[in-house]
Structure 1
């Protein structure tokens, strides 16, 4: 049964539309060809923990506002990164005007503010808009340094 938080995502591999829930086990895959799908969800004060903090891949959180020009500029770039990194990140979009507790919790003074969360722990933070290539590089480098730190701690 479809939920109002589900998004329809087009598979980059075969072009089929797939319904992707905001919350779920594992990582979304195309029902037609099995390719990993971009996982993009909206979250607010009430459901952020379930959608972002409990996400299995790293959560790329976009704290944005409807009145913010740079936020509108960076949104397509973030969705591009989510598509390129399908299976590795979950893009979670938070409208700070609708989620003031999250804006306060993450000490947001400028939008867009981007966070990388690993099971609720902030492992990366960046303010301002950037092109998709720069955003992807930031995400990849942050994830790689996180994995490196884990390997050192366990080795």
Structure 2
């Protein structure tokens, strides 16, 4: 399930997380953002065991976007163990998002 995060909670939620967290910078009025939100719902269903997906609304929360250098919407930012890994601006289809994540996170390790 995709959660939401605010600027005030960002360091606690993302910065102290273990494992991968994908943060989707978006706004409700942004059509490409809504398209990416739908894609990320499907990605979450498939990859929830590997990463947590969070959304941050840039209409009301700008501090982290500015700090991370997010210039447009939608933008996805991947973190591992609270540390920045990679940023990807723009809307993508499900296959492209999954391929970008696989490339960014590396192969899944078997237990």
Is 1:52 paired with 2:29?
Answer: no
Q: Is the 8 A contact 1:53 1:59 kept in 2?
A: no
- How many aligned positions are there? 108
Unaligned runs of 5+ in 2: none
- Structure possessing the higher relative contact order (Cα contacts under 8 Å, 6 or more residues apart): 2
Once superposed, which parts of structure 1, at least 4 consecutive aligned residues long, lie more than 4 Å away? none
TM-score, normalization by structure 2: 0.89
Sort the Cα spacing of 1:71 and 1:62 in 2 relative to 1 into closer, same or farther, 3 A: same
Aligned-pair Cα RMSD in Å:
1.6
Counterparts of 1:56 and 1:80, CA distance in 2:
22
Unaligned runs of 5+ in 1: 1-38, 148-155
Q: Tell me, what secondary structure is at the counterpart of 2:35?
A: helix
Counterparts of 1:63 and 1:43, CA distance in 2:
10
* Structure with the greater alpha carbon radius of gyration: 1
Counterparts of 2:2 and 2:28, CA distance in 1:
18
Choose between structure 1 and 2: higher helix proportion.
Answer: 2
